[in-house]
Amino acid sequence: MMLIQIANLLLQVAVSIVAGACLLRCYLQWLAFNLASGQRNSIGAYLLPLTNWIVLPLRRIIPSIGRFDVASFVAAYLLVLGKIIVLSLIVGATPFAASWLIFALIDLLDLTLSGLVGLVLASVILSWVGAGSQIQYLVSLLVEPLLAPIRRVIPNLGALDLSPLVLLLVLQVLQIVLNNLK
């Protein structure tokens, strides 16, 4: 039992990092962010080496749809699916492909929501302590498209911006719904 828990932890961490990087790559392409800017300290310098090994081969057979990087999304899905299959085989669960496919989609959506929660929290913290930094700019770029529709709906309270709180609540509600689907 302890070995299964250790395998679960290691797989969860490894897959979350790489699949999360694939999802971030997909989202940055959607935002038309240039990952290949050539700067050593750019996000692309970290993201591309972490994801190229799975995304580039998939790009040969799966084209992007407009700004949507389908290969990066499929790569994230395949990583999560692989984790679920390996863990199921380790615990000796009866193989049932349809449930693996659905559970992988739910797990991928949960990973996406968790990543968004982290980005919103990072955005709030960086707005207090890291205003004007390169990382604050990047996090702001990622979070702003999600906050803009909320800011149009909730009243402006001057210096107090409640939109991150509202977004966090929405993301948490969606996570509760997903966890109940599992």
What does the pLDDT read at residue 158? 77
Mention every residue, 6+ apart, whose C-beta is less than 8 A from residue 133.
126
What does the pLDDT read at residue 109? 97
* Number of other residues whose CB lies within 10 A of the CB of residue 116: 21
Q: How far apart are CA 108 and CA 33, in angstroms?
A: 22
pLDDT (average), residues 7-34: 94
What does the pLDDT read at residue 103? 92
pLDDT band, very low/low/confident/very high, at 128 (cuts 50, 70, 90)? confident
What's the sign of the alpha-carbon dihedral 84, 50, 43, 78?
negative
pLDDT band, very low/low/confident/very high, at 159 (cuts 50, 70, 90)? confident
Q: How far apart are CA 72 and CA 59, in angstroms?
A: 8
Domain definitions of the chain by residue range: 1-95, 96-182
Among 90-94, 152-156, 163-167, 169-173, which is the least confidently predicted range? 90-94
What does the pLDDT read at residue 41? 64
Query: C-alpha 64: how far from its chain's center?
Result: 18
pTM, to two decimals = 0.90
What does the pLDDT read at residue 28? 94
Give DSSP secondary structure letters for 95-150: P-HHHHHHHHHHHHHHHHHHHHHHHHHHHHHHHHH-TT-HHHHHHHHHHHHHHHHH
Quick check: 39 pLDDT over 70? no
Say what percent of the chain tops pLDDT 90.
Answer: 66
What does the pLDDT read at residue 150? 95
* Number of other residues whose CB lies within 10 A of the CB of residue 31: 11
What does the pLDDT read at residue 26? 96
Q: Mean pLDDT, the chain, as a whole number?
A: 91
pLDDT (average), residues 72-81: 98
pLDDT band, very low/low/confident/very high, at 40 (cuts 50, 70, 90)? low
Pairwise pLDDT comparison (182 vs 148), residue with the higher score: 148
Q: How far apart are CA 16 and CA 112, in angstroms?
A: 10
